[in-house]
Amino acid sequence: MLGLMRPAGLATAAWSPARALAREFKKTETMPRDRPIIINALGGIEDPNLALGRPQSDNPVAMDEIDIDARAIADARAGGLTAVNITLGYVGGPEEPYAYTLKTIDAWDKVLADHASDLMPVHTASDILKARDDNKIGIVYGFQNGAMVGNDPAQVPARVNEFASRGVRVFQLTYNPANQLGDGSMVPQNRGLTPLGRDAVAAVNGAKMMVDLSHSGENTCLDAARISKAPISINHTGCRALCDLPRNKTDAELRLVADGGGFVGIYFMPFLKSDSHPHAEDVVAHIDHAVNVCGEDHVGIGTDGAVTTIDDMEKYRGFIRKQIADRAAKGLGATGETPDTYPFVIDLRGVDQFRKLESLLKAKGYGETRIDKILGRNFLAFAKEIWG
């Protein structure tokens, strides 16, 4: 599926070059406070209402429809979105991963070309700033499954480099199930990275893409964080200490990623609460816990959702029930997805979601500098470290 003082009790995290670079980047790339950078480390820019009248598909971008319309762009602008990491490529299903992934890149290239006055590709951190300055929305190409690299160790670097040359900047190793690189979050064996997975991490490092450990099993995440030559990210997750579900990350994972100079994005997803019906206060609680574990320079948002709201919630309930049932049947689902689960937080959605989150963080005692970091500047600094 889908700056303030540290709060009391926050342990001082180890110094890292990435932290130093992040502070330098934040200092030199100043901006007016009334125009904050908002970067969704994993989300969407489509209008979800357009899909409700079509047959459902495990991989919607396998069809010709990528649901970008005037409303979706207007809503993203109204919400203040600067840039978003979108999912393309193979996630799961019967398609051959490599060929399917190339097809989706072609499809998104066309979308960006057709909407060049509103959207622009992001290849470097400076592109995010250019998108803001040019009044466009930056689009980051990202994977949520690394299966498209194939099974031949000799093939992995070439395919990773090919994807990088096509503009992919985020490489998530696994989805919920296991693949040839490692175990996903729903694999009880929790076996960690495979030898091919280690090859993939090295290749992604070499291609200067983000190694993303969202959806991974705990040992896969810990293994990758230990062997990666560059800081890694967990672009959309929650905190297992607050809600013990597999899609959430343990404090050990969060701390290791942060200590290596990495980035953690908190999602607006059902896994934030044990009853699978979180509210905005739960998002704030998970952000706050992540800040306490990781330090304020390493936490952001990866909502795992779009900005545009659903118009017909009754029709959508039937749509999402079928989607969750299909995901479970194909082994793609996760504990915490239920027939009445929404892939968003019911009171933190729409064009006001980021402003409301800012207001709630202020009420929590967060100051403007810290809020700016969480809304986007931490991801921007991390992108500068990885992409240049």
Q: Are 263 and 41 in contact (CB under 8 A)?
A: yes
pLDDT at position 35:
64
How would DSSP label each residue in 125-194?
Answer: HHHHHHHHHTT-EEEEEEES--GGG-S-TTTHHHHHHHHHHTTEEEEE---SS--SS--BTT-TT-----
Say whether pLDDT at 20 is over 90: no
Percent of the chain predicted with pLDDT > 90: 86
In tens, the pLDDT along 268-305 reads: 999 999 999 999 999 999 999 999 999 999 999 999 99
Say whether pLDDT at 24 is over 90: no
Q: Which domains does the chain have, with CATH numbers?
A: 17-28+35-387 (3.20.20.140)
Q: What mean pLDDT do residues 175-182 have? A: 98
In tens, the pLDDT along 48-77 reads: 999 888 776 544 444 456 999 999 999 999
pLDDT at position 25:
39
Say whether pLDDT at 243 is over 90: yes
Say whether pLDDT at 328 is over 50: yes
Say whether pLDDT at 1 is over 70: no
pTM for the full model?
0.90
pLDDT at position 8:
25
Say whether pLDDT at 166 is over 90: yes
pLDDT at position 149:
98
In tens, the pLDDT along 332-354 reads: 999 999 999 999 999 999 999 99
Q: Quickly state the pLDDT bin for 36 (edges 50, 70, 90).
A: confident
The structure tokens listed for 264 are: 């953690």
The per-residue pLDDT of the chain, averaged, comes to: 90
pLDDT at position 356:
98
pLDDT at position 279:
98
Q: Which residues contact 205 (CB under 8 A, 6 or more apart)?
A: 211, 228, 229, 230
Say whether pLDDT at 151 is over 90: yes
In tens, the pLDDT along 73-95 reads: 999 999 999 999 999 999 999 99
Q: Which residue has the higher pLDDT, 374 or 14?
A: 374
pLDDT at position 379:
98
Q: Which of 6-10, 26-30, 260-264 has the highest mean pLDDT?
A: 260-264
pLDDT at position 291:
98
pLDDT at position 56:
62
pLDDT at position 9:
27
Q: Quickly state the pLDDT bin for 2 (edges 50, 70, 90).
A: low
Strand pairing category for 137-143 and 299-301: unpaired
Distance of alpha carbon 276 from alpha carbon 38, whole angstroms? 26
Q: What mean pLDDT do residues 356-367 have? A: 98
The amino acid at residue 341 is: T
The span from the first CA to the last CA of the chain, in angstroms, equals: 30
Q: Quickly state the pLDDT bin for 34 (edges 50, 70, 90).
A: low
